[in-house]
Amino acid sequence: MQCVILAGGLGTRMLPITEKIPKALIPVKGHPFLKYQLDWLRQEGVAEVVLCVGYRGEMIEAFAQTGQRWGLKINYVKEGDRLRGTAGALRLALDQGILSDRFLVLYGDSFLPISFSPVWNAFISRREPALMTVLKNDEKWDNSNACFDGEKITLYAKGLKEKPAGMRFVDYGLCAFRRQLIADQVLPEVSSDLAQLLHVLSGRGELAGFEVDKRFFEVGSPAGLIDFEAYLEGALKV
């Protein structure tokens, strides 16, 4: 399995910590957050990681290097000062010839304590060009943004003021894509967001869904960092 980690963002919600380090390297219990992600990915059978980096990306590369100490192969997509957005970063990876035919995507501030193999196996068995994992949320962990019928995401939309009654799920933060989808739907050299692409796919009936039952963790906010530290201490269960 190949997994792309989108780690190019500025991390403004985590200032002043991120004045000098990227969000992926925020210290958690004595280790950079990225270490926990890479440990988990290796445990879950991921063999290759693509790190899309931007803000202070050289620090991420200096830490993770080639991935050898995790038994991983790590490649880097360097956005530099011109951040292209979450979809634009995938297009840059495509243009650099790094993307596999099928690949997973997660965010550089997310820790997702689930088994990845069932998600991967579900994706490769489906005809849809993309798959989104979702958690039944009912506004508990975050704002619900997805309708799921057990097979497909029938609507994915962020920021709705009036939500349909069936919008009980939230994007869990792990998606899978076919490389050809990025080639066909994401323009090169343009900043673009995965949320918009996923919204369009849901409207076309082209977004498969996979329900998970464990909460997610993140270090993109002060409250999220506190929760993740509590999880590592065993004080907060998934």
Q: How far apart are CA 10 and CA 14, in angstroms?
A: 9
pLDDT tens digits, residue range 199-208? 999 999 999 9
Closest CA to 1 of 41, 66, 47, 50: 47
Q: Which residue has the tokens 């990225």?
A: 34
The per-residue pLDDT for 52 is 96
pLDDT tens digits, residue range 217-227? 999 999 999 99
Quickly state the pLDDT bin for 69 (edges 50, 70, 90): very high
Q: Which two tokens stand for residue 19?
A: 């004045």
In 3-state terms, what secondary structure has residue 78? strand
Q: How far apart are CA 182 and CA 189, in angstroms?
A: 13
The per-residue pLDDT for 236 is 62
The model's pTM is 0.93
- Cα Rg of the chain, angstroms: 17
Strand partners, 5: 51, 106
DSSP 155-200: EE-SS-SS--TT--EEEEEEEEEEHHHHHHHS-TTS---HHHHHHH
The per-residue pLDDT for 95 is 96
Q: Which two tokens stand for residue 191?
A: 């900043």
Q: Which two tokens stand for residue 21?
A: 């380090």
The per-residue pLDDT for 2 is 97
Closest CA to 118 of 104, 99, 106, 128: 104
Q: Which two tokens stand for residue 54?
A: 């931007």
